[in-house]
Amino acid sequence: MLEEHRLSADILVAGGGPAGVPCALAAARNGARVILVHDRPVLGGNASSEVRMHIVGANGTGHFDRGEEGKTEAREGGIVEEIRLENCVRNPQRSAAMFDLILYEKCRAEPNLTLLLNTTLTAVTMDGDRIATAVAERQSTEDRFTITADYYVDCTGDGRLGAEAGALFMEGREDQASHGESLAQNQADNKRLGSTILLQARKHDRPMPFVAPEWARKFTKDDFALRLYATPGEEEPTHEYGYWWAEYGGVLDTIKDNEAIRDELLAIVLGIWDHVKNGPEGTAPGADPFEASHWALDWFGFLPGKRESRRFVGHHILTQDDVMTSREFEDAIAYGGWSIDLHPPEGIDAPTLEPCVQHPVPWLYDIPLAACISKNVTNLAFAGRNISATHVAFASTRVMATCAVMGQGVGTALAHAIDAHLALPQLLDSPGDLKTIQQRLLRDDCFLVGQINEDPQDRAASATITASSEQPEGPASAVLQGQTRCVHGDRGAPPNRNFPGSQRWMSDPAQGFPATLELGFQSPIQPREVHLVFDTGMHRHLTLSHHDGYTASKMEWGIAQGETVRDYVIEGFAGGTWEPLVSVKNNYQRLVRHTVDTTTTVSKLRITVTATNGLDHARICEIRVYE
């Protein structure tokens, strides 16, 4: 017997994965009352300990990395960067469970956010074209929740909330004629990207036998002609993390057939490991150059990492042309840059086909709010892999860091809609409100292509600025240029929407520390908040990965990023003397906000940097000051 509960909020977010967590956090931090409903015991979706896929995004990976120091910084900012930096410093051991904990802590820390784990959204009631209530059940405690909200956000991946509400959606692959996409199929079909179960293995000091279950798949070397089942190392191959290409289920219904897909994926991944451990068919164990006699399975998943199911129909459907031409959208709330990454739906059962074909995206591109608002349910939004996009465009937008910035964009937009008393479709027809949303995203250190800080309340924008020293490519004035990263380099922002320059102050290494940056105001101010954006090496990769080689070669993991300011003091000048306002030690975050507890009016502010986390000079990308 389920006990009935009635809850209310401004916004209900269904799904606590890479899109849902930033969406809920952004809305709550912007003043909305939020309920986050998630059907698993841990947050994170495909990045959680239950699946363990590393979060990737616009900066790419593998053959199509997008990043160059001082030229192209494509890594996502905002909440996903905050989470990555927190995870990097607090989780040097690269524990999957520790990442679960960090996400859980972030949600618990927000007073405006109510978190319901192990709770599945099961139904909605409608009032015309609006969702009136949503019903969620937690079987483990025998509770049923009827939730009333002004706005509803579907971040479930599978689109359960929207489907219950009768929101229009798409499945499968469109044909070329539908949207003029050269990468689409000649004929439409209901096939999609398949799912994967990952594994982790560990090397021991003695041989570790493996006996596969009878139902495990049997593979030959020919099955892996285009698939690498070990990572070539400097001395010997490694097997600690695999295999993203062990994909299955794209020719099935990835929702209704998910249990059968799970069973077959277990047979596949254990069959691959049997092949790795016990030798290819027709050879003696150990004869394969990638033999793994001393390796043993440490973990493998029971929850398929799902790539594709429903995609909703919004007020705009994102297409190949939008992505490849970096079309400019007035309602942009996020950006992408991952390749159009198409996989054969047959997955592992198509051994003669490449496991993926990646079509590089020339520039970073806009993701519009119109692709995140339902066409026919007026108070429903969505973020993540279920946004309004064709199969081809989705092949770029689906990766988790892109889903995260979409989530933050949608959460911020809906919080503004609450304050402005606007229906969601009204946002799309209100340039002023869209500009306000975009400026709030920039204030929260999200990047939007071609957008700069134009916040009229930022008193720093009109200040005069001087520094104890500077480099020619990093003048003090750069902190007021309005963009907090450089994207003018190869495969950055499109040429008509980038702003050349380092976009940060860099002190002179020859002058050492302390290094100071000073703001002078035309008339005295009473500072309430000081916002600082520091350099965190956003040209590099940074993500929790259980792949040793990827982590070691691409990242600075387990430590604060070397460019980041570590120790600093903020002072205000009043009555002829400098008054200490803020003192910080051991910072490792990029965006830091300080509430200033003073009733004194000041004519100047000074930031004195005494140490970084490794670099020989200070770097600050932006300073904002609010009264």
Residues 245 and 333 both lie in one domain: no
pLDDT exceeds 60 at position 126: yes
Residue appearing with tokens 């950006």: 335
Q: How many residues does the chain have?
A: 627
For 511-554, write each residue's pLDDT tens digit. 999 999 999 999 999 999 999 999 999 999 999 999 999 999 99
Predicted local confidence at residue 236, as pLDDT:
75
Residues 548 and 525 both lie in one domain: yes
Predicted local confidence at residue 130, as pLDDT:
98
Q: Which CATH number does the domain housing residue 569 bear?
A: 2.60.120.260
Rounded-to-5 percentages of helix, strand, coil across the chain: 25, 25, 50
Predicted local confidence at residue 288, as pLDDT:
61
At residue 162, φ and ψ (nearest 5 deg) are -65, -40
CA dist list (Å): 546 to 96, 241, 243, 259, 473: 8, 6, 11, 26, 37
DSSP lists the bridge partners of residue 149 as 9
Rounded Cα gap, residues 277 and 293, in angstroms:
6
Return the minimum-mean-pLDDT range out of 273-282, 454-463, 589-598. 273-282
Return the minimum-mean-pLDDT range out of 179-183, 225-229, 292-296, 460-464. 225-229
Residues 495 and 546 both lie in one domain: yes
The answer for residues whose C-beta is within 8 angstroms of residue 350's C-beta and 6 or more apart is 344
Nearest of 570, 576, 578 to residue 610 by alpha carbon: 570
Nearest of 155, 123, 204 to residue 34 by alpha carbon: 155
Q: Percent of the chain scored above 90 by pLDDT?
A: 94
Residues 168 and 202 both lie in one domain: no
Q: Is 321 exposed, middle or buried (0-12, 13-18, 19+ CB in 10 A)?
A: middle
Residues 315 and 296 both lie in one domain: no
Residues 287 and 349 both lie in one domain: no
pLDDT exceeds 70 at position 501: yes
For 82-116, write each residue's pLDDT tens digit. 999 999 999 999 999 999 999 999 999 999 999 99
Residues 43 and 156 both lie in one domain: yes
Considering 376, 409, 443, which residue would you say is the last residue of a domain? 443
Average pLDDT over residues 204-228: 94
DSSP lists the bridge partners of residue 439 as none
pLDDT exceeds 80 at position 30: yes
Residue 409, CB-side half-sphere exposure with 13 Å CA sphere: 33
Q: Which domain holds residue 380?
A: 3-173+309-443
Mean per-residue pLDDT over the chain, rounded? 96
Q: Quick check: is 185 in a domain?
A: no
Could you write out the DSSP letters of every residue in 127-196? ETTEEEEEEEEETTTTEEEEEEEEEEEE-SSS-HHHHHTT--EE-SB-BHHHHT-TTSBSS-BS----EE
At residue 383, φ and ψ (nearest 5 deg) are -150, 145
Strand, helix or coil for residue 23: helix
Residue 470, sorted as left (phi over 0), alpha (psi -120 to 50) or beta, turns out to be: beta
Local confidence band at 62 (pLDDT 50, 70, 90 cut-offs):
low
pLDDT exceeds 60 at position 286: no
What sign does the dihedral 542-587-92-513 (CA atoms) show? Answer: positive
Average pLDDT over residues 165-187: 98
Q: Quick check: is 186 in a domain?
A: no
Q: Quick check: is 67 in a domain?
A: yes
Considering 389, 408, 443, which residue would you say is the last residue of a domain? 443
- In this structure, the number of other CB atoms found within 10 A of the CB of residue 76 comes to 30
Residues 17 and 103 both lie in one domain: yes
pTM over 0.95: yes
DSSP lists the bridge partners of residue 579 as 572
pLDDT exceeds 80 at position 285: no
Rounded Cα gap, residues 271 and 246, in angstroms:
10
Q: Which CATH number does the domain housing residue 34 bear?
A: 3.50.50.60
pLDDT exceeds 70 at position 32: yes
Rounded to 10 degrees, the C-alpha dihedral 12/13/15/17 comes to -150
Residues 463 and 589 both lie in one domain: yes
Please answer whether residues 350 and 250 qualify as being in contact, where contact means their C-beta atoms are separated by less than 8 angstroms: no
For 361-417, write each residue's pLDDT tens digit. 999 999 999 999 999 999 999 999 999 999 999 999 999 999 999 999 999 999 999
Average pLDDT over residues 456-469: 97
End-to-end CA distance of the chain: 54
What does the block give as tokens for 30?
């912007």
Rounded Cα gap, residues 569 and 583, in angstroms:
4
Could you write out the DSSP letters of every residue in 58-97? TT--GGG---BTTTB--S--THHHHHHHHHHHH-TT--HH
Q: Quick check: is 345 in a domain?
A: yes
Please tell me the total count of domains within the chain: 3
Q: Quick check: is 76 in a domain?
A: yes
Rounded Cα gap, residues 568 and 586, in angstroms:
9
Average pLDDT over residues 458-464: 97
Rounded Cα gap, residues 69 and 561, in angstroms:
14
At residue 535, φ and ψ (nearest 5 deg) are -75, 130
Please answer whether residues 377 and 166 qualify as being in contact, where contact means their C-beta atoms are separated by less than 8 angstroms: yes
Residues 373 and 256 both lie in one domain: no
pLDDT exceeds 80 at position 220: yes
Average pLDDT over residues 39-53: 98
Local confidence band at 204 (pLDDT 50, 70, 90 cut-offs):
very high
What sign does the dihedral 385-389-392-396 (CA atoms) show? Answer: negative
Local confidence band at 597 (pLDDT 50, 70, 90 cut-offs):
confident
Q: Quick check: is 553 in a domain?
A: yes
Rounded Cα gap, residues 617 and 469, in angstroms:
10
Predicted local confidence at residue 518, as pLDDT:
98
Predicted local confidence at residue 211, as pLDDT:
96
Rounded Cα gap, residues 119 and 143, in angstroms:
9
Rounded Cα gap, residues 608 and 44, in angstroms:
38
Residues 332 and 372 both lie in one domain: yes
Predicted local confidence at residue 282, as pLDDT:
44
Residues 427 and 322 both lie in one domain: yes
pLDDT exceeds 70 at position 283: no
Local confidence band at 237 (pLDDT 50, 70, 90 cut-offs):
confident
Considering 391, 419, 443, which residue would you say is the last residue of a domain? 443
Nearest of 19, 99, 112, 100 to residue 418 by alpha carbon: 112
Q: Quick check: is 413 in a domain?
A: yes
Nearest of 341, 392, 26 to residue 175 by alpha carbon: 392
At residue 505, φ and ψ (nearest 5 deg) are -80, 135
Q: 96-108 and 79-90 are packed helices; what angle lies between their axes, rounded to 10 degrees?
A: 130
Predicted local confidence at residue 5, as pLDDT:
98
Strand, helix or coil for residue 428: helix
Predicted local confidence at residue 64, as pLDDT:
82
Please answer whether residues 32 and 414 qualify as being in contact, where contact means their C-beta atoms are separated by less than 8 angstroms: yes
Q: Quick check: is 568 in a domain?
A: yes
The answer for residues whose C-beta is within 8 angstroms of residue 114's C-beta and 6 or more apart is 7, 9, 34, 35, 36
